Amino acid sequence: MIKTQTSFIQVENGSVGTPKGFHTGGQNIGLRTKRPDMGWIYSVTPASAAGVYTTNLFQAAPLQVTQASIAEEQKLQAVLVNTVSANSCTGQEGIDNAYTTRAWMAGHLGIPDHLVGVASTGVIGLQLQMDKMEKGIAAIALNEPKAPFEEAILTTDTKPKHLAVQFEIDGKKVTIGGACKGSGMIHPNMATMLGFVTTDAAVDPDALSHALKAAVNKTFNRITVDGDTSTNDMVLVLANGMAENKLLNEQHPEWQAFLKGLQMVCQGLAKFIAADGEGATKLIEVQVSGAKDDHSAEVISKSIVGSSLVKTAVFGSDANWGRVICAMGYSGESFDTNKVSMALGDIVLFKDGMPVAFDEEKATEYLNGDSVVIKTTLGEGNGEAVAWGCDLTYNYVKINASYRS
């Protein structure tokens, strides 16, 4: 029997270091002037590991190396992250450098090379500064980090992004924590950012991989900032088993509780990214219901939240329902347009295929808030989906016009 009455508690200031047995931290190693630029995650014991990776054909060197690490035995014990250089489009030298940093990290921690994953973020085409990487890795002190991990992985982000939840499985307290970075080059075509999730639950590696893919599809794959998919993006999850629950897999009676907890963390992180989009001032949530199935609802929700015209209308607090309807119409999904209704929050603008009278002042006031919910219903079936994005502002252009400077 599947247990459904599970209580989930969000941990105050929770992050990837909250689950039992994980050490995390960051420091400045000179890749940039002042801000932390290297971060790490370390588990006191090897952890079941799984990843989901960018679909961009120009897949960066660290992603290739991390996939090779996990392929050895579906485990990781540490993850090393650097900023400034994405180590992407760097040829064989970039691959060799990624393997070298993996070896340096493994040697510093006294663990096998294949138990280390590596990740990079920053400017595409820059080789790693290997002298600084070597000195930085040698200076890592697990118990005395100079900065939080979630701060060390940021690029154009305006704030750290992290959370954790706790609940019980087999009568044991289980924690799932996460941290991520992402502000630009965000689009629902795999995990378009860097995301790291840790848990002290004991989880079968294959089941963990399936769980991560399912969670990513409903969270990180439902966000967009600018329609671009990067070369370096991935989500990793590590489960070290220190909660001492019985091994979780699809047959475990409380498997659904674990899935829910994992999705809660991934969804929270995904929304943080959407809200912190480059230059953004507002989080946009698109709710689609009444579609013929969930897939159709997902496609339509992504079409709406990814529309530049919808995003600019939200930025300008313009209740232009026509832009939403157009984005639905070119989504590629079929539906009866005479059954479509649309609202901003609780303010109905469009009903049964026709515009309705609404209070423009109230709609503008609603759009002036920092969170906007666009609701659409199709009257076709029971399909539903939610997607998240942000407004498109002048500052987005300003930030990206001089990204390398």
What residues are annotated to the active site? 192
Of the candidates 97, 121, 109, the one whose C-alpha atom is nearest the C-alpha of residue 36 is 121
Q: What are the angstrom distances between the C-alpha of 104 and each of 38, 79, 133, 138?
A: 14, 12, 9, 8
Rounded to whole angstroms, the Cα distance separating 250 from 210 reads 9
> Is residue 170 within 8 Å of 282, Cβ to Cβ?
no
Q: Quote the CA–CA distance of 389 and 372 in Å, as a whole number.
A: 10
Residue 220 burial (10 A CB sphere; 0-12, 13-18, 19+): buried
Q: Is the dihedral of CA 155, 159, 164, 165 positive or negative?
A: negative
Q: Residue by residue, what is the 3-state secondary structure of the chain?
A: CCCCCCCCEECCCCCCCCCCCEEEEEECCCCCCCCCCEEEEEEEEEEEEEEEECCCCCCCHHHHHHHHHHHHHCEEEEEEEECCECCCCCHHHHHHHHHHHHHHHHHHHCCCHHHEEEEECCECCCCCCHHHHHHHHHCCCCCCCCECHHHHCCCCCCCCEEEEEEEEECCEEEEEEEEEECCCCCCCCCCCCEEEEEECCCECHHHHHHHHHHHHHHCHHHECCCCCCCCCCEEEEEECCCCCCCCECCCCCCHHHHHHHHHHHHHHHHHHHHHCCCCCCCEEEEEEEEECCHHHHHHHHHHHHCCHHHHHHHHCCCCCHHHHHHHHHCCCCCCCHHHCEEEECCEEEEECCEECCCCHHHHHHHHCCCEEEEEEECCCCCEEEEEEEECCCHHHHHHHHCCCC
* Residue 62 burial (CB count, 10 A): 30
